[in-house]
A = this chain, B = another copy of it.
Amino acid sequence: MLSQVVELIETKNTFGITTHIKPDGDGVGSSLGLCWLLRSLGKEAEVLVHGEIPIAYQSLPGADKIRNVAEIDSQYDAVFVIECSDLHRPGIAGLDKEFTVNIDHHATSEHFGTINWIDSTASAVGEMIYNLCKAIGGRVTKEIAECVYMALVTDTGSFHFSNTTERTLKVASELVKVGVRPERVSEAVYNSYPWSRIELMRQVLDTVKRDETGRVAWMRQTLKMRELAGAVDGDNNGFVNIPLAARDILAVAYMREVGDHVYRVSVRSKGSINVARVAEQFGGGGHRNAAGLTVSGDWDEREREIVEALSKAVERSDPDWVSDAPNIA
């Protein structure tokens, strides 16, 4: 609970902060935001992440001080674990021996912490860090604001997703008041790719197809394409959403060759069409409108099966949402 977190901070002095491996904008932004908050209160704090910080977040204030560690190598009164479903997600050994504070906005969190503060009404943990700052009577400094804004922007898809609330936008407004420049954050998040992204997009988009109903689309990415493009991890962020921009397309499969006859598949849908169920049929899982699965064997055959499963999911879904979807009323 928030009150326990406030009490802990008020009574202790030395804090570690960590988040999941391959951290996203909420993981990095919230960790750094909390770190700046703790320091502004006169506490000792540092951020520990196992692995590299994605380039999009490297320009956040304090990002250059994040320590890349595989195990706990310092003494802390407590370690904050940001946006992790369990204690293994940070990939850091020794966390189980620490006094841990689990801060998450996913209702599915395992309550693994000594203290657990879960708020599933928050659009991002960043919003919770802002609330903590207010609750503890701290000042929202420019550094805190920039880190928290990054968390909000990335976890709401730039205020596009349904987790965007009145509160999210109000907090965003307060952060801009303190000095955040929204265009700078967008530039860092959306325009920080290497050129290989463009080369890869060109090749992947060249494979896009749709079924006779015009409601299901799919595309492929081979290992050879990655090689030709000189692609790195993250270059394909959001590719799966490109065909969804077509209003008639209700479900998309984006299939990536990841090994010898092994294919990682991202599935996406609109409205009430449940692709988590489709993913589960193939041993995968996820959310209603965004899920993933891995298949192996003959690519053409697997593709046919997945496209067929998506077509069935489209047929099964509530037809009303289709006309309803673009209706803002």
Using a CB–CB cutoff of 8 Å, the interface residues on chain A facing chain B are 55, 59-61, 142-143, 146, 149-150, 157-162, 164-170, 172-174, 176-177, 180-188, 190-195, 197-198, 201-202, 205-206, 208, 210, 214, 217, 242-249, 270, 325-329
**Which B residue's beta carbon lies closest to that of A327?**
B59
User: Given the known A-B contacts A201-B205, A202-B206, A247-B193, are A187 and B329 also in contact in the complex, defined by CB atoms under 8 Å?
Assistant: no
> For residue A146, which residues in chain B have a CB less than 8 angstroms away from its CB?
328-329
Nearest CB in chain B: distance from A112 CB, A:
31
User: With the chains together, A164 CA to B185 CA distance in Å?
Assistant: 12
In the complex, besides A59-B327, A59-B328, A190-B245, 15 extra interface pairs with C-beta distance below 8 angstroms are: A60-B328, A158-B160, A159-B159, A159-B172, A162-B182, A165-B176, A166-B174, A167-B173, A184-B328, A185-B328, A191-B270, A192-B326, A194-B248, A195-B210, A197-B245
For residue A172, which residues in chain B have a CB less than 8 angstroms away from its CB? 159, 169, 173
Q: Is the CB of A326 within 8 A of B158?
A: no
Q: Which residue of B lies closest to A56 (CB)?
A: B326
With A325-B187, A327-B184 as contacts: A176 and B164 at CB distance below 8 Å: yes
Is the pair B328, A242 in contact by a Cβ cutoff of 8 Å?
no
How far apart are A31's CB and chain B's nearest CB, in angstroms? 16
A193 to B184, CA, bound (A): 28
A165, A169, A192, A246: most-surrounded residue (chain B CB, <10 A)? A169
Q: Pick the contact of A328 from B180, B198, B208 — CB < 8 Å?
A: B180
Which of A159, A164, A174, A201 gathers most chain B CB within 10 Å? Answer: A159
Whether A270 contacts B176 in the complex (CB less than 8 A), given A160-B182, A169-B169, A197-B246, comes out as no
**Interface contact B201-A183, CB-CB below 8 Å:** no
B188 touches A326 (CB 8 A): yes
Bound form: Cα–Cα A30–B229 in Å: 44
User: Which residue of the partner chain B has the closest CB to A142?
Assistant: B329
A142: chain B residues at CB < 8 Å are: 329
Q: Report yes or no: A59 in contact with B214, Cβ–Cβ below 8 A.
A: no
Minimal Cβ-Cβ distance residue in B for A202: B205
Whether B214 and A195, one on each chain, are in contact in the complex, defined by CB atoms closer than 8 angstroms, is yes
Measured between beta carbons, the chain B residues less than 8 angstroms from A190 are 160, 245
